[in-house]
A and B are shown apart, each in its own frame.
Chain A
């Protein structure tokens, strides 16, 4: 780099540039959090949805699955499992989820194993409500298809 471009100038670009873009980032974050209620449908977060999220976290579901694409990549995406396995029907999905959770581990030799988390029927319904709410968020059309 040329002699004319001094360390002081480089330092000023670093401090000025970082502060400037961080302020823009904060501004956009502020705007985004104002916009999100229209898209995340937080008005539909019931007590059961909240309990479902707690169960989701306390059983480390993210350790195998993805949820809106984030998590581990070992097991299926679950943000849209309500559509994939329940066809968008609440009773059908709850029935499916109870059957599925209680059948674990499937013990098929060589197949990836999902543990049994010993949840009560009510807890499985909480989880189902959480996943139903998640599937109804506006995620700009992600994922591309029902397979997640």
Chain B
């Protein structure tokens, strides 16, 4: 049965499948690191912590990028009401990106990082060895090439078709993603400048243009599953992303408190980033409002659950947990503690992992020719996956927050001489780290249940 409006939407499939494979890798390396937090010498010779961490975070970024690309290939043709400009280009870029990604991860695993830097001529144009931007320069160039081809393909599609607000917002977000990534190539010797512009990639991605991508995907899925008038949904979309950028751009200031930067950033960063939860709160109101005002009963209950879930979890993780440590006088004590880790986990899961799973949930049954929705049994498995992963992430965040509060109390608040050293403090936090690891195992179980849902069919349900 063919259930796609435009055949070229099917190119999203390998992107989604590969994204989920990388997601599994991300979680496995997360579990290794989580154990190394308490059993310090676990796999120390084979997979040192820094390697596991680099793979954990890089896989996250890359699987989200695959997810965003898949989402765009799926929704842009339908919004534009025309076939994708070039499905062949989309497939070629898929293989290039996948091969570059796998080669980079293997490089991380198989040779020492300094050897990889040497092999890839890092000394000619040093860009490696900075958090989240650890990829060899050649990989970074590859990312730019893939992004350009991707934007060209989408741009040509939109040019010949309908220009909806969702398509325009998504394109703006994706172009912003590509443009701000270019700062990854700027690595001055002066560490302060290096860090200042490093945030142009990191902050302006996750607290800037990625929110446009998230907003556009959510708006698309809400139109489809609720049947609410496009005008209403697109108005909300504009309001939300307006708030996101108005607060988020100057909110970058919350990274400039302790960076050889003028003190006014402490005011600007505090005020604007304190407002950053607002767009996420609006997103919760909007998602629930639209689902309550639905004009049709969409059979894909799981997709609705993901859409509501991503709004709520993004608000909690990015909004509430971000606010917790964003005010300069608080951040003075919490900067670079486990509180940052707590916020990072829930924010990335809530806002970005979940929005990708939202559109996968909506689109995959159609791409696979199953219809509007998976069979009931498969949806039950998927919802088990949703709840196990989401609840596990809530607990991971709570345990890391507990660890962070105690860390601040023992290591940061006391005066010199009375403060505990970093390593002595870490020993005191062991119970929280063990609990976090246990929650991580539950997360993996949830992920397995979620993946199982793709293999459950009507037939196996009867058997």
Contact = CB atoms under 8 A, between A and B. Distances in A.
Interface in B103-149: 113-114, 117-118, 122-123, 126, 128-131, 134
A67 B425 CA distance: 18
B261 A36 contact: yes
Given A36-B192, A142-B257, A64 B49 contact: yes
B235 interface: yes
B78 to A, nearest CB: 20
B242 A54 contact: no
Interface in B4-44: 33, 36-37, 39-41, 44
A131 B192 CA distance: 13
Contacts of A105: 44
B40 A147 contact: no
Interface residues of B, number: 82
Contact of A17 (B195, B196, B245): B245
Interface residues of A, number: 73
Given A36-B193, A142-B258, A71 B129 contact: no
Interface in A52-70: 53-54, 56-64, 66-70
Q: Considering the complex of A and B, which 10 residue pairs feature the smallest CB-CB distances, nearest first?
A: A63-B50, A57-B129, A69-B336, A112-B40, A10-B238, A142-B258, A14-B242, A113-B44, A76-B422, A39-B260
A57 B130 contact: yes
Contacts of B49: 63-64, 72, 74-75, 112-113
Interface of A: 1, 5-7, 10-11, 13-14, 17-18, 21-22, 24-25, 28-29, 31-33, 35-36, 39-40, 42, 45, 49-50, 53-54, 56-64, 66-77, 105, 107-113, 115, 117, 134, 137-148
Contacts, number: 226
B41 A113 contact: yes
A54 B340 contact: no
Interface string B408-441: 0001111110011111011000000000000000
